[in-house]
Amino acid sequence: MSEPIRVLVTGAAGQIAYSLLYGIAKGDVFGKDQPLVLLLLDITPMLPVLEGVVMELQDCALPLLREVIPTDKEDVAFKDLDAAILVGSMPRREGMERKDLLKANVAIFKSQGEALDKYAKKTVKVLVVGNPANTNCLIAAKSAPSIPKENFSCLTRLDHNRASSQVALRCGIAPNNVKNVIIWGNHSSTQYPDVHHCKVNVQGKDETAFDAVKDDAWLKGEFISTVQQRGAAVIKARKLSSAMSAAKAICDHMRDIWTGTPEGEFISMGVYSTGNSYGVPEDLIYSFPISIKDKNWKIVDGLPINDFSKAKMEATAAELVEERDTALSFLGV
């Protein structure tokens, strides 16, 4: 057995974490022979709830889980981390301006970025889930100057999985037969789910999404808006935000960072945009098609982009530039 790795989940008393922690602790993410120490961070009023989560993790009797440390202190939570999954953020309350939401989250992710900088390993892999995820991720990365920007990513895998699933449902096949959908841009309703490079395996034969679906109007219209609005649709139905599917996407994202992506396949992740070949503005966390090897991600270059896609990629980039500039004004940068 290898040495235990230290994995932090923030917002650990919340409903996404409740769906997430079991998957991590039983080895779905970091491997079936990788022991773990789980650090669970939440705000002080949530500590009694967190104790219940700790009890349940103990009661699962999982062989890989060596220790569970619940805390409300950043110096404890961020110490010597190998992986940090930042789920906790200030949720949008009724009547709250987007600007107020950004301001509250800038404070949280600046503080957590500084804690990463001060206490975590320099090799730590950081996944930001709490919304607005792209901009929160950028703030955390900027607040941790001693950790490479490449170690930070934000979650757009839920959108990616939603897109794959919608195509699969439409074709009457299993979602693992749909490869290489792309989510471009922001994890918001301006994101662009793109199937122009997608491969769909129908009865053992690879086809383009357009050939497999045979409904261009749906792929360029309702499909895109369904994926963009899916989070809101789940809230409307459940009166709670996506938790099970978000947790699954977090597991997929972190597992791919740890073990890599299959040859010829790519997934979607929000990563640092500087130096990209698609004309996306520098200094953003923007979702691109990504391949991963040896724990290092690479933007998949050279995909042809038509005018339809270009316009949608630019619209989501414009939203991210505006979010970034507002957030940085709160940072006093």
Domain identity same for 51 and 190: no
Domain identity same for 265 and 286: yes
Domain identity same for 177 and 317: yes
Domain identity same for 231 and 295: yes
What tokens appear for 108 in the block?
């949280």
In this prediction, residue 99 carries a pLDDT of: 83
Sorted by sequence, the CB contacts under 8 Å of residue 43 that are 6+ apart come out as 72, 88
Domain identity same for 129 and 23: yes
Domain identity same for 147 and 233: no
Q: Which sign does the torsion angle of CA 42, 47, 51, 56 carry?
A: negative
Residue 42 counted as an annotated binding residue: yes
Domain identity same for 87 and 213: no
Residue 92 counted as an annotated binding residue: yes
* Distance in Å from the first CA to the final CA of the chain: 46
Residue 98 counted as an annotated binding residue: yes
Residue 162 counted as an annotated binding residue: yes
In this prediction, residue 333 carries a pLDDT of: 60
Sorted by sequence, the CB contacts under 8 Å of residue 328 that are 6+ apart come out as none
Domain identity same for 147 and 161: no
Instruction: Walk along the chain (333 residues) and give the pLDDT tens digit of each residue.
Output: 799 999 999 999 999 999 999 999 999 999 999 999 999 999 999 999 999 999 999 999 999 999 999 999 999 999 999 999 999 999 877 777 878 889 999 999 999 999 999 999 999 999 999 999 999 999 999 999 999 999 999 999 999 999 999 999 999 999 999 999 999 999 999 999 999 999 999 999 999 999 999 999 999 999 999 999 999 999 999 998 999 999 999 999 999 999 999 999 999 999 999 999 999 999 999 999 999 999 999 999 999 999 999 999 999 999 999 999 999 999 876
What tokens appear for 144 in the block?
């941790």
Cis peptide before 45 (omega within 30 of 0): no
Domain identity same for 135 and 217: no
Last residue of a domain, one of 97, 120, 154: 154
* Type and span of the H or E element at 202: strand 199-202
Domain identity same for 130 and 211: no
Domain contains 285:
yes
Rg (CA), the chain: 19
Residues known to be catalytic: 187
Residue 105 counted as an annotated binding residue: yes
Domain contains 102:
yes
Domain contains 290:
yes
In this prediction, residue 149 carries a pLDDT of: 98
Paired residues of 38 in beta bridges: 7, 68
Domain identity same for 232 and 103: no
Structural domain boundaries enclosing 208: 156-323
Last residue of a domain, one of 154, 181, 215: 154
CATH assignment of the domain containing 135: 3.40.50.720
Domain identity same for 147 and 170: no
Using DSSP's 3-state secondary structure scheme, residue 251 falls into: helix
Number of domains, the chain = 2
Q: Which sign does the torsion angle of CA 122, 57, 245, 10 carry?
A: negative
Residue 87 counted as an annotated binding residue: no
Strands 36-41 and 65-71: parallel
Domain contains 332:
no
